Amino acid sequence: MTLLEQQDALKRAIVRGEDATLVSGLLRIYQQAYTARLVAALRDNFGVLPQVLGDDAFGTLALAYIEAHPSQRPSIRWFGHRLPEFMASRDDLVPHPALVDLARMEWALRSAFDATDAEPLTADELTAVPAGAWPALVFAPLPSVQLLAVAWNVGPVWRALQGTHAPNLPEPQALEHTLLIWRQGLDTRWRALDDGAARLLRCALNGKSFADLCALAASEVGDEQAALHAASALRGWIADGLIRR
């Protein structure tokens, strides 16, 4: 073989585990090290999930995922983006359906941390907008802002395992709700939203105008309080650094 053919065969043997004329004890070490590094990347990208599953169960899940979805990108930072989807299809590897939502939450938090920087809108800048321009105002979110619909109350489990191995984890409860996930400075943040708050924020994130927000608010709090309700929500979004300048 030419050098290029040898290099390609070596890559396929290491990454895909294919048989090759280069098979040797050294190659098997490379194969094992490559797989072990991908498993370690999944542990890093999903910090809480391995704690909940335990080392053996998470290792089994990771190996199955690596076989089903080999790494396709140069950076292992993005390895694992399909893990929640994969978990949803493998009941044999996932002992509780809440773990799928936990994985989705963790990936969203990691994605928020790496999102592009942008300057947030300030309250003073918004105050300077003429009153007549308000109905047509459209608000763009910072790149890190995400709304994640979940079916289980996984927040308490995630919080319990921050920086420690909690001996008694709270049992996940079925609860359809929305998580707001974003980055403020260098810190990733999240909180659960009630249905009304989630609908209003989603309306804004979908590019609707302030007049549209007021119309949506009117359906929940009435016409008289609609503008005040929408403005109050907007002030909260700005205070949290969700809206882009």
Residue with tokens 């989630």: 198
Per CATH, is 118-245 categorized as 3.30.70.20? no
Please tell me the pTM assigned to this model: 0.87
Strand 174-184 and strand 146-152: the pairing is: antiparallel
Largest CA distance in the chain: 80
Q: What is the DSSP code (8-state) at residue 129?
A: S
Instruction: Determine how many CB atoms are found less than 10 A away from the CB of residue 92.
Output: 9
- Choose the weakest-confidence range: 14-23, 35-44, 76-85, 223-232: 14-23
10 Å CB burial of residue 88 (0-12, 13-18, 19+) is middle
pLDDT, one tens digit per residue, over 49-107 is: 999 999 999 999 999 999 999 998 888 889 999 999 999 999 999 999 999 999 999 99
Domains of the chain by residue range:
1-95, 118-245
pLDDT, one tens digit per residue, over 135-186 is: 999 999 999 999 999 999 999 999 888 865 556 777 889 999 999 999 999 9
